[in-house]
A and B are shown apart, each in its own frame.
Chain A
């Protein structure tokens, strides 16, 4: 399955037209939960809009009926009414901003969470096919862009639309002819915006893409800075960075120019609108169809109509950027996990066989076949070793047992049932897999060895100590100066590879799986400590099946059966000596 986000974005061009609508629909559907708040906010917004739109009418009326005739008392009365109106809109303004903002933040919260949730759903393949830096940039920067839109612009956007609509209604009711003429330039704005929007959006998503590659470049170079220093390639970082920086500069400049184009155009059209009001309005007054007070109100309404438009032009860039970000996020949200839990169809008899590979073939996406039609079985309680040259397919076989991938062909049976029919939590409980590259989470050693372990999660320090003692892990903890409470930093900096492997080992053992796979899990641990690990393994329940992948012979000497994995095949070696022969002299017929 193709999980490469940067390739998929091309395919989605087809549905670009629907992009905004479907985006809006998703957003609206998440808004439904907030119905009550939204209705309230909308009411507040309506009152504010009506009040602020009534203002100019009142002023126009006052001018015509009190100021021009010279009735100061009336002016004062109307001023008082206006003051009351302004006070009310002070209150509704607060309510509206507060409520709408809250809804916006909650929606963003939902969006962020569902994005993360989706990420958790997707299989390992997804992470292999996308660069970490690019993913991080998508989730951090792009949701931030949407956040900016939500927290700064959405409110203004809605208010602007409402005020514009209201102003348009007033303009048309005060004088339909003049109103229509005043609104005519807005049509130009609409057409213009429609025309350039796709282009602006394209420029913005290009700028975001270059930002993604810039951030993955930095990620790669800085995380591997020791190689850069040791191999004297400081220029390499400089040059590669210069390249992505230059690309980002060009793309950002273009998107900046595109985003800035709207404002001047909108202002121009808005000025034309005012000009029309004046010339046409004065013409109407001259003909006696219109009054000076009304003209002043009209001017106010036309700026009430065009100013929000101009504000929207300023927000438009934000909006386009948010849309581009939304597109990039949506690609992730639309990803389908291809590793679902199946309904169990055929069941083998429950036997002593815990795991069975039947005609299993596998290839990585776009790669050549790594395993071709392999068959083998593992029995309960036995210890197996997988040996073979590097790149022979040992890790792949182990990954299939843990269902990090599904076979391209064939079936894997776990305790007589298709491994794909097990719920994820049960499968994870039954299969322990210590990966070649151990990964530690920032926190403490305790948090790391109890990671994902529901059973011991809430144990008191004392109970936990007992568990650790029973499992025989005490002596391993001595390798950490502060024992369980030793700090683990981000990326496990400051902890040696051997120590990381120890933590990963303890993490897996405490979960007491039915099958425990050690994929070169102790490769960087000294052989004396390794003997301690063996004692720990022996303390595991009798039924535990152990699968050990290793190059060090002493690591595998206790294995009851040895499988030789090479060039897509898995064959049983009779003895350790035979396995060594196979390793040393290539594959031989025995």
Chain B
């Protein structure tokens, strides 16, 4: 049965507490040994592991911070590059547009110049054609005039000898034509 032993307490007062120098010494030695053994066997190791782990966690956090910073810097650099690329692209596009515009203007100017040249050339050709036609008409007219005069005067005229006369007639003819 559960029961505490019933013992007669021989000592009284403070003596009843059972203070014993040898027991006291035994507890002191026991506790001292326990401290020494726990320190050697356990505390050093456990605190060492806790220190190592906290150091590792600190290192990992610092590493994570460093990686995050680097990633952020890389992202910023990438965004800067992207922005620069976009700006460069826009600049190139603008330059291309400007070049195209310039080229178009140049081509238009050139086309206009060529057209003007063509027109001038055509005019020149027309003028030459007209002059040639006029020359031919004049020649034909001279021949006709000579033939007509021969018929009128019944004699043959020397075209070279009467060149002055023919030119005079033609000039009169031109003068008449100009009046007309």
| Chain B associates with chain A | no
- Residues of A bordering B, CB below 8 Å: none
